[in-house]
Amino acid sequence: MTSTDTRRRILDAALACFIEDGYEQATIARIRQRSGTSNGALFHHFASKEAIADALYLEAIVSFQQGLREMLRREPRSLRAMVRGTIAHQLLWTERHADLARFVYLRANISRDSPAAAALAALNRDLAAGYRRWMARLADGSEIRPASMLVISAIVTGPAHAIARRWLAGQLASPPTEFVDELTNAAWAGLRGTQVRTRPARRVPAAGRLTLELICDDGSVLAQGQATAQLLPFQSAGSSTV
- Residues 174-215 have pLDDT tens digits of 999 999 999 999 998 888 775 545 455 455 555 666 666 666
Widest Cα–Cα separation across the chain? 112
CA distances from 22 to 17, 71, 111, 171, 227 (A): 7, 34, 18, 20, 79
Q: What is the pLDDT of residues 165-180, one digit of tens each?
A: 999 999 999 999 999 9
Lowest mean pLDDT among 96-100, 190-194, 214-218: 214-218
The rounded distance, in Å, linking the Cα atoms of 72 and 65 is: 11
Among 71, 57, 60, which Cα is nearest to 127's? 71
Alpha-carbon Rg for the chain, nearest whole angstrom, is 31
Q: pTM for the complete prediction?
A: 0.74
